[in-house]
Amino acid sequence: MWFIKNNRGFTLVEVLAVILILSIVSTILFSILSSSKETNKKQLENNEQLSELSYVLKLITKDMRKTITYDPNNSTFKNRDGSIQYTYIFDAEKNTITRNNEVIATHIHSFSLTSIGDSISINIESINEHTISTQLSFRSGDGAKDEKKSIK
């Protein structure tokens, strides 16, 4: 008698091997996707923070061009008639910068406006340790003539 062999199926060992290989591959893919998502999230936060720092710097530059003097005692820019035009306040507890009582930046570690002769040195550091600094000079009341920027 001839015995007929049926080779049209998978053995239990083959099925278990495929399941094991698929679970290893899916675990690796999941960890790669999870890591990519975290990296993307951190990068978006960093970009948002740098954008916010640049915005504050742009506002200060714009305000300085509209005014003629800066009072370092209370961080105010003044018009020709001496009226206060713009006031900048850093709240260390809330980590915010306000301009005329309106919050313009959050997550700020330090903020300084330092008067150096007819120039102002601006230094802003975020909680993420990004630092933007620049030095602006008044020119006969119309605004800043010299801008030196550095970003870390």
Domain-embedded: residue 99: yes
How many domains does the chain fold into? 1
pLDDT in the model for residue 91: 93
**What mean pLDDT value characterizes the chain?**
84
Judged on CB neighbours under 10 Å (0-12, 13-18, 19+), 87 is: middle
For residues 90-105, average pLDDT? 93
More confident call, 148 vs 82: 82
Residue 45, domain extent? 12-151
Residue 142 pLDDT exceeds 60: no
**Per the domain annotation, does 4 fall within a domain?**
no
Counting residues of the chain whose pLDDT is more than 70, the rounded percentage is 86
> Is 17 domain-assigned?
yes
Residue-wise pLDDT for 58-88, tens only, equals 998 888 888 888 888 888 888 877 787 889 9
pLDDT band at 24 (very low <50, low <70, confident <90, very high): very high
Element (H, E) at 65: helix 12-66
Identity of the amino acid at 142: D
**3 inside domain:** no
